[in-house]
């Protein structure tokens, strides 16, 4: 047990609560490696300004002195380089020690961080954070529901909660819930609640577990009612992270509270329901191969028709540099001839972008597009593209320099850094609504794109975050595990009380 059962701070002083963490989702199947420059590192007042509930005029300011430590967040990608992880870990733990005695920590993390050569990065980081902060301070983790919750990790925490919506429209609400629950525990003097933890031998991609659809909608819909029970503090379900080949990767339920029998019972009930509906999870939209999705789009009168290049989705950990879908678009005569138009966003290739900037708008360029990170792969490697530079956008905050090149009816946006396209504003001067087809490297569509799409398909394309898990070749996950093993024996879903 990480913290003492009860620690009531003096009513004559404000609580001192630190804020910090590391936030990245890492595909071990991605060729990308995350270095220090991939992270946005925030400290001091800038860190406090990330959150609404830290405002000096907020209702918590009477009780809390917020102590900003350091927070590092990166676009999802491949595993972190060990030296980068060691540097960020050292800064976080050094700042915890330098801050002096802390009553608690709001631990703002993702939960699916991988580090080269390490099996449980969050477990390792949390061991170090606990050692730095001491046994009496309470640690409250705010997490993504696509994270992993090993016993080693959970055992070092006092409170933990996760998003209840996918897409994550409640991400900031989750962080605030973690902070407020922590303040409540500290001001009440109740200390660490009981933690009922149980893993479920199911590992599914996020695109099959969206809370827009059943059964996830009902499962996650139960959590608020469980949380409201007398004796319960919080309830959370993690679907796990499907694109890391690590023993900890699987679904998890955690219920925290002051009534040990009740939290165990509720955790068992949620875990049992998750197991029983495992075969009912379905993709969040119509799926098909790349060619099938393009054919559906060409045959449809609905415009714009969006296609998700899900296997190379950088917001799930993909390299974001595969030109596979670009090649499949231009293999169709209607698109190659310009009778139908398409906008393909977000292929990362800094060398190709540099050539476009050197040539200028209106110039014809011949480029080898893609493969900057992935190299030559079974998915086609670079695509030889000759076309006209139609737009240049220097200094995008996320993507760096951006260039758009048109061949026939297909316009492709190239980026110098990995960049997701989630909103119309991400496309700059190119309005996606004016094209017949729009291809985005994403999984399920984010809310603005979802509203924009007259119709859409989820292309089961290849890449480091392939939706077809059986094609990826997991070897280190703990078996039996659904869907890798089906049928399989009934699992023991008895929660452990931490």
User: Are the C-beta atoms of residues 298 and 372 closer than 8 Å to each other?
Assistant: no
The reported pLDDT for the residue numbered 99 is 97
pLDDT, tens digit, 9 for 90 and up, residues 224-263: 999 999 999 999 999 999 999 999 999 999 999 999 999 9
Q: 311-321, pLDDT tens digit by residue?
A: 999 999 999 99
CA distances from 292 to 2, 205, 288, 298, 334 (A): 52, 21, 6, 10, 15
**Range 469-494 average pLDDT:** 96
7 has pLDDT over 60: no
Strands 15-23 and 64-74: parallel
Cβ atoms < 10 Å from Cβ of 134 = 12
Q: Write the pLDDT tens digit of every residue in 102-158.
A: 999 999 999 999 999 999 999 999 999 999 999 999 999 999 999 999 999 999 999
Q: Do 419 and 271 touch, CB atoms closer than 8 A?
A: no
Q: How far apart are CA 442 and CA 349, in angstroms?
A: 17
Cα separations in angstroms, 414 against 228, 253, 323, 393, 427: 48, 41, 10, 10, 11
pLDDT score recorded for residue 376:
63
Residues 388-400: pLDDT tens digits?
Answer: 999 999 999 999 9
410-419 tens-digit pLDDT: 999 999 999 9
Residue 3 has pLDDT above 50, yes or no: no
Question: Binning pLDDT at 50, 70 and 90, where does residue 381 land?
Answer: confident
User: What is the distance between the alpha carbons of residues 44 and 46, in angstroms, rounded to a whole number?
Assistant: 5
Mean predicted confidence (pLDDT) in 425-429: 95
Compute the mean pLDDT over every residue in the chain, rounded to the nearest whole number.
Answer: 95
- When pLDDT is cut at 50, 70 and 90, the band that residue 373 belongs to is confident
What residues contact residue 295 under an 8 Å CB cut-off, 6+ apart?
332
Distance CA 141, CA 143 (A): 6
How high is the pLDDT of residue 4? 42
404 pLDDT exceeds 50?
A: yes
Element (H, E) at 287: strand 287-288
**What does the pLDDT average to over 464-488?**
95
Tell me what the mean pLDDT of segment 284-293 comes to: 96
> Can you spell out the DSSP letters for 338-399?
TSS-EEEEEEE-HHHHHHHHHH-TT-EEEEEES-TTT-S-TT---EEEEEEEEEEEEEETTT
pLDDT band at 13 (very low <50, low <70, confident <90, very high): confident
At 2, the pLDDT band (50, 70, 90 cuts) reads very low
Contact criterion met (CB below 8 Å) for 285 and 456:
yes
Question: Whose structure tokens read 């190659």?
Answer: 336
- Residue 308 pLDDT: 97
Give ∠ CA 195-197-199 in degrees, rounded to 5. 170
SS3 call for 326? helix
pLDDT tens readout for residues 58-85:
999 889 999 999 999 999 999 999 999 9
Q: How confident is the model at residue 12 (pLDDT cuts 50, 70, 90)?
A: low
């Amino acid at each position: 047990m990480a913290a003492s059962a009860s620690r009531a701070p003096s009513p004559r002083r404000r609580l001192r609560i630190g804020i910090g963490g590391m936030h990245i989702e890492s595909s071990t199947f991605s060729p990308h490696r995350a270095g220090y420059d991939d992270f946005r590192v925030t400290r001091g007042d800038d860190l406090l300004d990330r959150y609404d509930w830290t405002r000096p005029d907020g209702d918590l300011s009477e009780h809390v002195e917020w102590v900003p430590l350091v927070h590092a967040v990166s676009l999802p990608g491949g595993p972190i380089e060990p030296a980068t992880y060691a540097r960020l870990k050292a800064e976080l733990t050094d700042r915890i020690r330098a801050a002096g005695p802390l009553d608690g920590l709001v631990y703002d993390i993702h939960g699916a961080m991988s580090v080269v050569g390490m099996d449980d990065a969050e477990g390792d980081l949390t061991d170090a954070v606990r050692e730095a902060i001491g046994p009496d301070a309470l640690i409250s983790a705010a997490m993504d529901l696509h994270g992993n919750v090993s016993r080693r990790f959970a055992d070092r925490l006092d409170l933990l909660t996760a998003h209840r919506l996918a897409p994550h429209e409640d991400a900031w609400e989750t962080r605030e819930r973690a902070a407020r629950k922590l303040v409540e525990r500290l001001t009440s003097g109740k200390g660490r609640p009981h933690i009922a933890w149980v893993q479920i031998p199911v590992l599914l991609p996020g695109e099959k577990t969206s809370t827009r659809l059943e059964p996830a909608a009902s499962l996650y819909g139960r959590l608020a009612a469980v949380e409201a029970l007398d004796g319960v503090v919080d309830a959370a379900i993690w679907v796990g992270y499907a694109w890391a080949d690590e023993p900890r990767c699987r679904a998890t339920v955690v219920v925290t509270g002051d009534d040990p029998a009740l939290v165990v019972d509720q955790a068992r009930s949620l875990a049992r329901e998750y197991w029983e509906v495992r075969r009912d999870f379905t993709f969040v939209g119509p799926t098909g191969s790349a060619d099938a999705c393009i054919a559906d789009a060409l045959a449809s009168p609905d415009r714009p028709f969006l296609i998700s290049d899900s296997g190379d989705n950088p917001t799930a950990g993909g390299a974001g540099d595969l030109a596979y879908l670009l090649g499949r678009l231009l293999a169709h005569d209607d698109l190659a001839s310009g009778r139908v138009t398409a906008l393909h966003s977000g292929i990362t290739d800094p060398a190709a972008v540099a050539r476009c900037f050197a040539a200028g708008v209106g110039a014809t360029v011949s480029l080898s597009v893609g493969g900057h990170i992935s190299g030559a792969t079974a998915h086609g490697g670079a695509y030889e593209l000759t076309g006209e530079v139609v737009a240049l956008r220097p200094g995008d905050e996320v993507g760096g320099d951006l260039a758009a090149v048109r061949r026939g009816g297909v316009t492709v946006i190239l980026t110098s850094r990995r960049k997701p396209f989630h909103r119309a504003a991400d496309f700059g001067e190119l309005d996606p609504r004016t094209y017949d087809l729009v291809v985005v490297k994403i999984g399920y569509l984010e809310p603005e794109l979802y509203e924009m799409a007259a119709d859409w398909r989820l292309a089961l394309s290849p890449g480091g975050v392939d939706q077809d898990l059986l094609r990826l070749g997991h070897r280190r996950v703990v078996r039996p595990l659904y869907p890798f093993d089906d049928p399989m024996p009934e699992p023991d879903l008895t929660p452990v009380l931490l």
